[in-house]
């Protein structure tokens, strides 16, 4: 099994990053990851100093997948996510959607044991590991790993966890997959700019779907597909997610556009992933069950 150590990482996703490893379709790969702070926040005395988005969220990789060419899709099946026994959170005045409420800079270190995050003596939260940053290289200008986009990146979508498959556009030969920014638990919105930030490792199986391009990431869970979009504001991100979902359904279902639009208004939920990164991220849920008779699949 191929393993990529956390020291092999990038702070921007782009075509100039040489792959640090290569895999064949069907291979299983383990990505060891640092936390969003580069493992620099270890105690509650280590306060986060805002320094822009260029030195946060190290992403392990990139990994080239043999046979992946521009216009293809990289399928990343997330087999397992294993997180460390401690995580960290920060609260920084002026940062995040709640920054205007905060009076001082604070770091909170949290223990993780028996499948729970110990937030305090009275609060224990079930661990729900997810990947904050995962994506391929965009074809043009590099994108910092702290920023989401059509290539993936810092989507902070809490559903990207074990048992799901993420489909990513291939923009350069090999795809150049990288990931990091694991969270032991995080809510939709990520309103204070972080979840429980943890180092860990992600076990994935990679594959290539040839000749089937997508404009932006699509996540598959047991019961739904999610079309993910990022933009400068929530309105634009929502519009993109709607358009992507419509295109996704039109390509796979023999139904007229008017009826697809009606169904989207009945059963397709528009959901917020995060509102604190340089671009906002929204997802549109397309339930599989309603289209079981059509055999809806990616």
pLDDT 10s digits, 180-199: 999 999 999 999 999 999 99
Separation of alpha carbons 257 and 263, rounded Å? 10
Does pLDDT of 50 surpass 90? Answer: no
pLDDT, residue 52, reads 60
Does pLDDT of 55 surpass 90? Answer: no
For the chain, what percentages of helix, strand and coil (3-state, to nearest 5) are there?
15, 40, 50
Bond preceding residue 62 cis, omega within 30 of 0: yes
Q: How many other CB atoms are found less than 10 A from the CB of residue 145? A: 29
Per-chain mean pLDDT for the chain? 96
For the domain made up of 218-294, give the CATH fold: Endonuclease I-creI (3.10.28)
Does pLDDT of 25 surpass 90? Answer: yes
Percent of the chain with pLDDT over 70: 99
Does pLDDT of 53 surpass 70? Answer: no
Which residue do the tokens 């590991």 mark?
Answer: 129
CATH architecture label of 2-39+49-82+131-209:
Sandwich (2.60)
pLDDT 10s digits, 114-167: 999 999 999 999 999 999 999 999 999 999 999 999 999 999 999 999 999 999
Does pLDDT of 54 surpass 90? Answer: no
Closest CA to 117 of 156, 88, 159: 88
Q: What pTM did the predictor assign?
A: 0.97
* Average pLDDT value for residue range 36-57: 84
pLDDT 10s digits, 218-257: 999 999 999 999 999 999 999 999 999 999 999 999 999 9
Closest CA to 283 of 224, 212, 214, 232: 224
Residue extents of the structural domains in the chain: 2-39+49-82+131-209, 218-294
pLDDT, residue 32, reads 98
């Amino acid at each position: 099994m191929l393993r990529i150590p956390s020291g092999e990482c990038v702070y921007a996703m782009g075509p100039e990053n040489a792959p640090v490893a290569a895999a064949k379709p069907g291979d299983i790969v383990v990505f060891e990851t640092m936390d969003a702070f580069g493992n620099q926040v270890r105690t509650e005395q280590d306060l986060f100093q805002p320094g822009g988005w260029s030195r946060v969220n190290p992403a392990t990789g990139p990994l080239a997948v043999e046979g992946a060419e521009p216009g293809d899709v990289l399928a990343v099946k997330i087999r397992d996510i294993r997180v460390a026994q401690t995580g960290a959170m920060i609260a920084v005045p002026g940062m995040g959607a709640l920054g205007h409420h905060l009076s001082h800079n604070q770091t909170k270190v949290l223990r993780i044991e028996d499948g729970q995050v110990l937030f305090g003596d009275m609060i224990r939260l079930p661990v729900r590991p997810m990947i904050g940053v995962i994506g391929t290289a965009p074809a043009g200008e590099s994108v910092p790993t702290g920023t989401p986009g059509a290539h993936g990146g810092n989507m902070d979508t809490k559903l990207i966890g074990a048992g799901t498959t993420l489909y990513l556009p291939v923009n350069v030969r090999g795809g150049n997959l990288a990931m990091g920014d694991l969270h032991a638990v995080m809510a939709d919105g990520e309103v204070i700019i972080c979840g429980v930030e943890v180092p860990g490792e992600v076990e994935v199986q990679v594959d290539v779907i040839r000749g089937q391009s997508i404009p932006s990431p699509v996540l598959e869970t047991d019961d739904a597909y999610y079309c993910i979009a990022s933009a400068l504001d929530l309105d634009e991100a929502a519009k993109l997610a709607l358009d992507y979902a419509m295109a996704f359904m039109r390509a796979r279902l023999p139904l007229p556009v008017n009826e697809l639009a009606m169904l989207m208004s009945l059963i397709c939920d528009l959901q917020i992933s995060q509102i604190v990164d340089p671009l906002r991220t929204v997802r549109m849920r397309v339930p599989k069950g309603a289209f079981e008779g059509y055999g809806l699949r990616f």
